[in-house]
Amino acid sequence: MLDLFAIATNNADFINKTFNETIANLSEPKAIEAKHFAQWVESKALISINLRLFVITEILNGIPYKNIHEWAQEQAVLSGRNKDEILRERLKGFYDKRMAFDQAFQKGECFRYGALNAGGLGLSNYGLYCTVLTHNFHDTLNHSACFSGDSLEICFSKSSTFDPMVLIKSISPFSHRHWLATSQLIADIDAAQQNDWSQLLISTDFKQYFEIIFIGEVTVNDLKCVRVSTEEYQQKQELMFASYGKSLSEPERAEVQDFIQLLRAVKDGKIQLETL
């Protein structure tokens, strides 16, 4: 089995060299701007994980965040069903690639997946609640790596065959994330206003982003903030207020209770909530 994080570490010199060569080929003003962008990514970009509201509630209640394998194992124990069947149902068309990728690496079933985020709602196609992890969390990670995109897209051929050799050009240790991002985005940095740089790290169509893979427990103490769209926040508020005067369905009532727990945690200073 492959060691993903050793591959990332061994790729550090290549990532550094690529960044320096990229800068050397630019005019002086563009080189200064690119270096500024790299510094901005290093200082501002954190790991974010997009989650559903009930998962946020679990974390607030002291249950560490579970990856897909841990979640499926718990469901198997509780239901008596086969873990693999649960994974197939949950992952649907992504099952084969997810299993092929995770099983190719040492401790692959312990991997947690996030994105490099310096503002915005993250990969909201995965979950409407963007949990941003603290600086201290990623500074103390022993196992972390950064991909220039979605690993399930990068590391598989058109025939869906896993190709680990692609890793050499696409992965860096987390410590080199700013150099990887700058080299990959060099054609877009000059044209973008600094206020829009966060959209370079995660594009609005989610086709461009930098995936972070790490091993480590995520608890409420590791959450810097939770970001949610103003629209989603207002919808939950309306649903909560509607519950005062009319009957809600069971799923709606469960959502209201989860939302109330989130608001209580904000009020008690356990977590910061940002609406965008």
- pLDDT class for 178, splitting at 50, 70, 90? very high
Secondary structure, 3-state, the chain: CECHHHHHHHCHHHHHHHHHHHHHCCCHHHHHHHHHHHHHHHHHCEEEEEECHHHHHHHHCCCCCCCHHHHHHHHHHHHCCCHHHHHHHHHHHHHHHHHHHHHCECCHHHCEEEEEECCCCCCCCCCCEEEEECHHHHHCCCEEEEECCCHHHHCECCCCCECHHHHHHHEEEHHHHHHHHHHHHHHHHCCCCHHHHHHHHECCCCCCECEEEEECCCCHHHEEEEEECHHHHHHHHHHHHHCCCCCCCHHHHHHHHHHHHHHHHHHCCCCCEEEC
Q: Is pLDDT above 90 for 167?
A: no
In this prediction, residue 244 has a pLDDT band, given cuts at 50, 70 and 90, of low
Dist CA 253 CA 90 (whole Å): 24
pTM, entire model: 0.93
Over 80: is that where the pLDDT of 242 sits? no
Q: What is the pLDDT of residues 155-166, one digit of tens each?
A: 998 888 888 888
Q: State pLDDT tens for residues 103-146.
A: 999 999 999 999 999 999 999 999 999 999 999 999 999 999 99
Indicate the pairing of strand 143-147 with strand 129-133.
unpaired
pLDDT at 245 over 70: no
Closest CA to 114 of 97, 138, 79: 138
Q: Which residues pair with residue 145 across a beta bridge?
A: 173, 213
Mean pLDDT computed over 248-260: 89
What is the share, in percent, of the chain residues with pLDDT greater than 90? 84
In contact, 60 and 53? CB cutoff 8 Å = no
Q: Would you say residue 201 has pLDDT above 90? A: yes
Render pLDDT for 98-109 as a digit per residue (tens, 0 to 9): 999 999 999 999
Residue 246, pLDDT above cutoff 90: no
DSSP bridge partners of 156:
162
Give me the amino acid identity at 241.
F
Query: CB-hemisphere CA count at 13 Å for 4?
Result: 27
Q: Which pLDDT band holds residue 243 (cuts at 50, 70, 90)? A: low
The rounded mean pLDDT for the chain is: 93
Q: Which pLDDT score is estimated for 179?
A: 97
Confidence of residue 252 (pLDDT cuts 50, 70, 90): confident
Per-residue pLDDT at 198 exceeds 80: yes
Amino acid sitting at position 121: L
Percent of the chain with pLDDT over 70: 98
